[in-house]
């Protein structure tokens, strides 16, 4: 089966690794947040991390909230349907900012390095290499889902632009019979 067609969630990671990651959750998620905000210039990164108000700092707020959710997904096994809204909220923003596609999505892969960085030694001592391989496969799957979301955001931008052109000249197009009419009401009336 092609990896992107995975209907079932990736298997939940094994107990030992899960316990280990759960123990370091705060540190892991914090590093993950850092790795995303650091893709912005330093002044912006500072703002994204420090300003707490969800309305005045919507991007920072989204990054913090959704990385937590995504981390839980990693622990449980990545489910396309469940992971999509979390990924979408982060990617929807990055898809329209000044990033290349790889820059927009690299954050999913950074988790691999973060795990090695923070819990690598313990993984070694407890010989959890095989479990780590499974975990990394699950992050790869998350990256594939992320790619689909990114593409759909980009396509949406194009669709919206075309639709806006029509809306902005709606009546002129309608009068020139260039629009498909909306179904009119009660034709048999009177």
Partner 1 sequence: MDTKPEFKPGNFLYAGKASALETVGLPNPRDWSPTDDDWQLPADWKGIVHEGMAERLQRFRSFKLFMDVCVRCGACADKCHFFIGSGDPKNMPVLRAELIRSIYRGEFKTAGKILGKLAGGRKLTEDVIKEWFYYFFQCTECRRCSVFCPYGIDTAEITIIAREILNLIGCNIDWIASPVANCFMTGNHLGLKPHTFKENVEYLLDDIEEYVGVRIEPTFNRKGAEILFVTPSGDVFAEPGIFTFMGYLMLFDHIGLDYTWSTYASEGGNFGFFTSHEMMKRLNAKMYAEAKRLGVKWILGGECGHMWRVVHQYMNTLNGPADFLEQPISPLTGTRFENAAATKMVHITEFTADLIKNNKLKLDPSQNDHIIPTFHDSCNTSRGMGLLEEPRYVLNNVCNNFVDMAPQVIRENTFCCGSGSGLNAGEYLEMRLRGGLPRANAVKRVHEDHGVNMLSCVCAIDRAVFPALMDYWVPEVGVCGVSELVANALVMEGQGEREYNLRGEENPSYKPPAEDEASAEAGEEGEE
Helix (H, G, I), strand (E, B) or coil at 145: helix
Q: Does 178 bind partner 1 (CB under 8 A)?
A: no
Q: Does 180 bind partner 1 (CB under 8 A)?
A: no
Q: Does 103 bind partner 1 (CB under 8 A)?
A: no
Nearer to partner 1 among residue 44 and residue 106 (C-beta): 44
Q: Does 102 bind partner 1 (CB under 8 A)?
A: no
- What character string, x for contact with partner 1 (CB under 8 A) and - otherwise, covers 20-59? --------------------xx-xx--xx--x-xxxxxxx
Binder among 120, 151, 167, 178 for partner 1 (CB under 8 A): 167
Report residue 186 CA to chain centroid gap. Answer: 46
Least separation in angstroms between CB 90 and partner 1: 13
Q: How many helices (H) and strands (E) does the chain have?
A: 8, 0
CB 28 within 8 A of CB 118: yes
Helix (H, G, I), strand (E, B) or coil at 17: helix
Residue 26 φ/ψ, nearest 5 degrees: -55, -45
CB 142 within 8 A of CB 73: yes
Least separation in angstroms between CB 76 and partner 1: 24
CB 146 within 8 A of CB 74: no
Nearer to partner 1 among residue 2 and residue 161 (C-beta): 161
* CA distance to 38, 87, 120, per residue, from 24 (Å): 21, 22, 12
Q: Does 133 bind partner 1 (CB under 8 A)?
A: no
Which residues in this chain contact partner 1 in the complex, by CB under 8 A? 40-41, 43-44, 47-48, 51, 53-59, 92-93, 96-98, 156-157, 160-161, 163-165, 167-172, 174-175, 182-186
């Amino acid at each position: 089966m092609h990896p992107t067609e995975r209907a079932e969630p990736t298997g939940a990671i094994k107990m030992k690794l899960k316990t280990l990651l759960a123990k370091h959750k705060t540190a892991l998620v914090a590093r993950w947040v850092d790795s995303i905000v650091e893709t912005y210039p330093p002044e912006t990164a500072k703002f994204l991390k420090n300003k707490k108000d969800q309305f005045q700092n919507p991007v920072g707020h989204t990054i913090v909230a959704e990385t937590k959710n995504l981390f839980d997904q990693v622990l449980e096994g990545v489910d396309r349907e469940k992971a999509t809204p979390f990924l979408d909220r982060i990617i929807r923003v990055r898809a329209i900012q000044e990033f290349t596609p790889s820059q927009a999505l690299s954050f999913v892969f950074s988790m691999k390095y973060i795990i090695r960085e923070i819990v690598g030694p313990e993984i070694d001592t407890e010989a959890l290499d095989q479990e780590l391989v499974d975990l990394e496969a699950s992050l790869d799957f998350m990256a594939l889902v992320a790619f689909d979301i990114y593409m759909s955001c980009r396509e949406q931008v194009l669709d919206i632009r075309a639709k806006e052109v029509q809306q902005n000249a709606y009546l002129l197009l309608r009068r020139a019979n260039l629009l498909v009419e909306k179904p009119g009401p009660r034709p048999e009336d009177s």
